[in-house]
Chain A
Amino acid sequence: MNVSYKWLKDFTDFDLSPTQLRDLITARAVTVDDLEVLRSDLKDVVVGLVVEVVPHPNSEHLNLTKVDAGGDELLSVVCGAPNVTAGVKYPFAPIGATLPGDFKIEKRKIRGESSNGMLCSARELWLGLDHEGILPIVTDAAPGTKFLSIYDAGDTRLILDVGANRPDALSHEGVAREIAAATGNALRRPSVEGYDAIPQVVRVDRSGTVGGVTVTVDDKDGAPLYIGLVIRGVQVGPSPEWLVSRLDGAGVRSISNVVDATNYVLHGLGHPLHAFDLSKIAGNAVVVRKAAAGEAIRTLDGIDRKLTDTMTVIADAEKAQAIAGVMGASTSEISDSTTDIFLEVAVFNAQRVRNTRKKIGVSTDASYRFERAMDAHAAEEVARYAAALIISLAGGAVDGAPLMIGDALPPQAKVSLRPSRVTKVLGDAVSGAECVSLLNSVGFKSMSCSPSGDCDIIAFEVPSWRADVTQEIDLIEEIARLRGYDSFSNDLRPFRVGNVPDSPAYLVGKRVTETLVSAGYFEVRPIPFVADAGEKGVKLTNPMAENEGMLRSDLISTLGKRVEYNFSHMVSNIRLFEVGVAFENTKTHEGLPTERTMAAVVLTGDRYPAHFTDAKPPQLDIWDARNVAQVVVDAAYGINGNFGKRNAFIQASNEDGAPSSAGVQFLPNQVGDGWTITLDGSAIGRVGAIELDSPVWASPVFGVEIDITPAFTGSKRYPVYKALPTTPSTEFDLALLVSNEQHASDVEAVLRAAAGDLLESLALFDEFKGKGVPEGFRSLAWRLTLRHPDRTLRDKEIEGRRTKILQTLEKELGIKQRAS
């Protein structure tokens, strides 16, 4: 909201510069976002003292002057004004200055005499129409002083960021109230001629007549309070200069005296009102009612709008003439020919106004205030003030006593305050007396305690403009801000340690992140909206764009888009990862979509940076992807211990290191050529090549995505120390003929079981296809390391174990040793 520095001074006295005022309002009430110096087009103009005046030798109308403009030397200036007088100060535009209208002052010769600047008239400075002569100014300021700093020409506009809880601060009077509370000076409403002559309102419940107009409120819920009054015989015309300048200070354009008066009341006192041209109101009837579904109105901005039956309108005998609290109709707009006015001052239902303006998609100064709730208690005075102002500007007279339709106003709200609670919440002792004095300064009245404030509990009457104050904490906030937030101590006090353990989601995610960063991957944080997330996807009700209509159900497709983005910038080595959420439409017990935290990685390009010793590094391949998958699983699930062994993919180990059939496994994907990663039989992820819109020069792209959510539950387990071996180990290799359909992991499972307790490690070290290996088969070679914890194994034992393993393999899987 905009307020004018000068207009504020109409409401209270203060001796503060605009920046001081800004800091004061910001510290105590509402934040001032910005200051705009109005009339900055006069910033170049300075005070010039005319020292000497002699007639121009070549002209009867011109004079030659010597001007002191604060510089080292007097300036020769040619002046045509008849009133130029030596010893008088005038506004002076030096060479290089720019005057309003982009008029640049340059050194020039006038009838043979050079002129170094210009002494200015009011009209040249756009300070009025007076062009009789240059503008004499009475000031103590030294020549050269900025004109704006001594002349009441410009204004400063303060741009306020008023919180949604403070509609009372949406006016000059409201802001001035806060200033007055700080300075201790009085708050006053600028007097308006004839105010006392405006009759008091007459209140009726539902319908009545004013000045020959029948006013009926059918929609009492939409308009709890409605005041109507009639002014006849006005003459619409331009506004006086003071009014134009006040409105301009707040950024409001002058339209006509009657419309400006309503805007003056809106921005000055904070209450919106609407003036109808009474001659355009059919049937001398004003009806406040709900709009009929499909009813149409052409609003002041010339747009035809369709209404719904949830909206309130102000209608005449025939049609809607205003959307209540939002905008009037162009059909009853005040025009130059208007003579009779129906003036409305109302309190409309805040939620209704809000929903209406959202539906029709326009927010006005009026709707902005109505949806923040207006002060019903202030309405009568506002109506009479507005009537007096209109009449003082445009003539005419009130016809009949203003009519107020609505229930009798409720008494002012009361809220109790315990000074002990103030101290408890704010942390520094604040006395009851101080609470009372601070709250009094902005209109709260203490009801139940002596002025000393020495009570356990004090009841305050809440001023009608502070409907936001309904409970004790609201009063405490008032006390804190009025006392000044900076007045409270700033010392770190002891605290108790909290009861909340770190979120496992955070810990696991962080560990995966750190691991992948160390492994050379870049973390990204892309936007998780996609065009199509499949059957299980979650749709947005109100997406920004068609191609962002759903929440993603996987991370790889999001990352794939990011790879394509990098390809488009000719980047070929790409290693990205994200730890983020994938959504599914399966509902949780709270009715929310299912969220799973996934760790996803995409990789393509060189395996390591080129070096002069190795200028063409190999490309990343599926085995690198499989390694990353392993790294992620280890990082995520290792925390909780269950699956943290190095061989987790192939065969997970349980707590004491013995083989187990559970754990994480690789299985071919049912769709595509990727592989599924399972945990205890359930899929938790996938790894494989991914198809992208890749340029021809790009290497294959691989993706890994692993659900780390299961790692968030379960308690941490630690490996148990086993005595380090003191006996020698024995190794032997087995080269087996394995069919292409047979999984190595299945072979390993059998190998392990058959090798028994003596098996220390098992490592696949070769795959061979070709000569000596039948079609459809491959030779897989494992190295087995056996060790007995207490003694050296005998050759016979080893041979026996080897034979048993081979027999078991043949029996269970039909696998034979490769003939050497």
Chain B
Amino acid sequence: MIQSNITSFTDLANELKTQGAAAIQSAATLEALEAVRTEYLGRSNGKLLDLQKQVPSFDGDDKKVAGRLFNTVKTELERIYNERNDIFVSASKAVGSGIDLTMPARQQFKGSCHPVTLVIEEIAAIFRELGFTIASGPEAETEWYNFTSLNFPPDHPALDAHDTIYLSDDVVMRTHTSPVQVRTLKSYEPPIRVLIPGNVYRLDPFDASHAPMFSQIEGLAVDEGVSFVDLKATLSHFANRFFGKTKTRFRPSYFPFTEPSAEMDVECQLCKGAGCPACKGTGWMEILGSGMVHPNVLDAAGVDSEKYTGWAFGMGPARIALQRYKIPDIRILYDSDIRFLEQVGE
């Protein structure tokens, strides 16, 4: 056996420690780490064996120093190895125990609101911020509430827009939600700010663009000093919130229960105002009818029309739903086909 030099032993020990530590840290896989372990700490061929074999060749204090040094190096490399090994093992555990989270989760069935309900709720949310509450009323109405109180002259062509389903001579299925305006005005003192969503009925054949029942949402604001400016500003605000920043246009129209009456258009959502077949080249899309509540309506409801003024609007959530979801046929809204409701419902 060669007489060893304690200095060269120390150099070798430190070198093995540095090299070994670096090799362990840079092992990229569990296999590579195992190879490094064998290389340095292997029981039959490990590099540390050479060092260990030299220890007995020293004498006295040198032997003690060499033994301690060897132990230090071995312990240190084992510690680093274990650390590194733990990282690989814990990473492999997630996969190694048979769990593959790319597979589908256990689920519950999802339900959804009808698209028309979604549109109504979205409209209502905007008006609720402006102090509107929700009012409701019966779907079968007296002719007085549906027509007379709303200033429809008897046998007038204005009735042509309201093909009516009758239940008897003086009871109809309401053709609009406006009778609830009168009911609300009769029940509460102004200030009144209400929204009225609900089903309305028309004697229309059931085809791609007509349904005998559809939904409407109506708004009514009555107080002292309420004006056409309030109507314009509130409805423009609504349009900007509902459609995103958009231009609005108000144009004259006729409803027996409002005067002045106005139709509100927003920029055509398809061509952004440039003009296209959908908007007949006008660049505008009709959204709602509106107007100042006719004094005859306030009078019929027992509200002092000299003191109070008001405005009202009405719109069709189903029409908006058809546009929004690009539904080509209104009957799809009523079919209740689960496959459709899964597509568009939320």
Contacts and interface: CB of A to CB of B under 8 A. Distances in A.
A26 to B, nearest CB: 5
B227 A425 contact: yes
Given A592-B141, A611-B104, A522 B338 contact: yes
A524 B114 contact: yes
Contacts of B223: 495-496
Contacts of A522: 111-112, 114, 336, 338, 341-342, 345
B20 interface: no
Interface in A165-181: 165-166
Interface stretch (B34-42, B45-53, B79-87, B258-266): B258-266
Interface in B331-346: 333-339, 341-342, 345
B189 interface: yes
Contacts, number: 274
A31 B251 contact: yes
A317 to B, nearest CB: 32
Contacts of A354: 155-157
B157 A517 contact: no
A611 B103 CA distance: 10
Interface residues of B, number: 100
Contact of A541 (B105, B112, B166, B213): B166
A485 B250 contact: yes
Contacts of A425: 227-228, 292, 309
Nearest to A471: B295
Given A497-B191, A539-B167, A575-B111, A565 B337 contact: yes
A486 B237 CA distance: 15
Contact of B206 (A424, A473, A544, A592): A544
| Chain B interface mostly | mixed
Contact of A525 (B187, B253, B334): B334
Contacts of A614: 106
Interface of B: 103-114, 116-117, 130-136, 138-142, 154-158, 160-161, 165-168, 170-171, 173, 184, 187-194, 197, 199, 203-206, 211-213, 215, 221, 223, 225-230, 232-234, 236-237, 249-254, 259-263, 280-282, 292, 294-295, 309, 333-339, 341-342, 345
Most chain B beta-carbon contacts within 10 A, residue among A425, A488, A575, A580 = A425
A571 B342 CA distance: 12
22 contacts: A19-B281, A426-B229, A427-B227, A477-B261, A489-B229, A495-B226, A498-B188, A500-B192, A506-B136, A517-B112, A522-B111, A522-B114, A523-B117, A523-B341, A525-B199, A527-B212, A541-B167, A551-B140, A592-B171, A608-B109, A611-B107, A612-B103
A426 B233 CA distance: 12
A164 B336 contact: no
Contacts of B204: 544
A488 B231 CA distance: 10
Nearest to A505: B136
A428 interface: yes
Interface residues of A, number: 102
Contact of B112 (A164, A355, A523): A523
B144 to A, nearest CB: 9
Contacts of A500: 133, 135, 184, 187-188, 192-194
A516 B110 CA distance: 10
Contact of B131 (A30, A495, A518, A571): A495
A757 interface: no
Given A499-B192, A520-B108, A541-B166, 18 more contacts: A19-B281, A164-B156, A351-B155, A371-B157, A427-B230, A476-B260, A498-B221, A517-B112, A519-B111, A522-B342, A544-B212, A551-B167, A562-B335, A569-B339, A575-B111, A591-B170, A592-B171, A608-B109
